[in-house]
A and B are shown apart, each in its own frame.
Chain A
């Protein structure tokens, strides 16, 4: 790792000030994506702004018809939260399958969503539930948040504070894991609720995306059979040593079917 300075602010306002004053500074929460990147010298921040001491970023609570998850919530906390398990069990199950036990004890939902790794799990839930991303300065709809591979609508120095998930009637998630890295090869998060029927696909393309044809079919008939004959075009999907775009396109249908079955 290259050298960097370290700051530990105790409020969102102080963190924003530190990040705005130095465009080369980076926020860190669990560090389970950032630290490996620093070790590989893929990034060279001048300073890390440690968000872990900011109380405003913590907590998981039910607010009316929404579940609000603070950005610092660790995957293990989301997986074991009674609030999440009661309102959106698919989200708790998803959190319980990220990485391994030790990764889940450190990695945070805010970090995962802000990083927008195409093979991450949480972006599928955020988009598939039609969640709202709350930052220090505004509210961003999931449909506007994920803008491309590892890129989001967040501005430099903007801090993700919480994610508001509308409570769905039904939701389910299924993924094919890369057997070595356990990252998502292709996953599908489906839901039916106040946001209508939503199907979000992760792992397959450079960025999580909605599958409109499947949404339409499920709106008419909520069953795995409804999506069984819908084919995803491989155009624009990821092709790498782990699988071709055609393979991932095939998995989109299989994972969507399993996700609907998971939702029940």
Chain B
């Protein structure tokens, strides 16, 4: 069986995989990182989004063997070792940007990629378009968009602390 060596959340792994193994299967079943979800399994819903070398991708539509040498970041790799949440995670909590939570890991990973690649700042409309590859069936997106708008201010250093959600 082929081997693939990749770095996941800063830790190097060498894993034997069948060529048909998907990246999300490697993450969930071999490495037991079950924060990355499988929703539609047809590259539409975005619940499986992780970062490969800094780009958000759908791990249900990526072969594990094609990730040789890649740097992969999953939702488990965002918080600091002391448990301090990433500003995007903190914003999702503050703005109540989730209900059932199933889409949340993918939403957070997509949102971070979107914000990082747009240091000039994103308008509400741009955030909405940037989330085209992520489906949420509970929130109606409003609070997700608010959370991302608030998180980008912290991520780009324009604010030290997250703006609190209005009561």
Contact = CB atoms under 8 A, between A and B. Distances in A.
B56 A101 contact: yes
Interface in B53-75: 55-58, 61-63, 65-66, 68
B160 interface: no
A3 B20 contact: yes
B46 interface: yes
A5 B1 CA distance: 10
Chain A interface size, under 10 / 10 to 19 / 20 to 34 / 35 or more: 20 to 34
B2 interface: yes
Given A6-B2, A52-B66, A102-B58, A32 B43 contact: yes
B20 A101 contact: no
B62 to A, nearest CB: 7
Contacts of B57: 102, 105-106
Interface string A1-14: 11111101000000
Given A3-B18, A50-B66, A101 B43 contact: no
A36 B61 contact: yes
Chain A CB within 10 A, most for which of B43, B58, B68: B43
A4 B66 contact: no
Contact of B20 (A2, A8, A76): A2
Interface residues of B, number: 26
B132 A6 contact: no
Given A31-B61, A103-B43, A182 B132 contact: yes
Interface in B102-125: 110, 113-114
B35 interface: no
A206 interface: no
Interface in B130-156: 130, 132-133
A106 B61 contact: yes
A36 B113 CA distance: 24
Given A50-B66, A101-B130, A101-B132, 17 more contacts: A2-B20, A6-B19, A6-B63, A8-B65, A8-B68, A28-B63, A36-B42, A36-B43, A39-B41, A100-B133, A101-B133, A102-B46, A102-B49, A102-B58, A103-B58, A106-B57, A106-B61
Closest 8 A/B residue pairs (Cβ): A100-B133, A6-B19, A105-B55, A100-B132, A1-B20, A102-B133, A102-B58, A35-B61
20 contacts: A6-B19, A8-B68, A31-B61, A31-B62, A31-B66, A32-B43, A32-B61, A35-B43, A35-B62, A36-B42, A36-B43, A39-B42, A50-B65, A101-B110, A101-B130, A102-B110, A102-B133, A103-B58, A106-B57, A106-B62
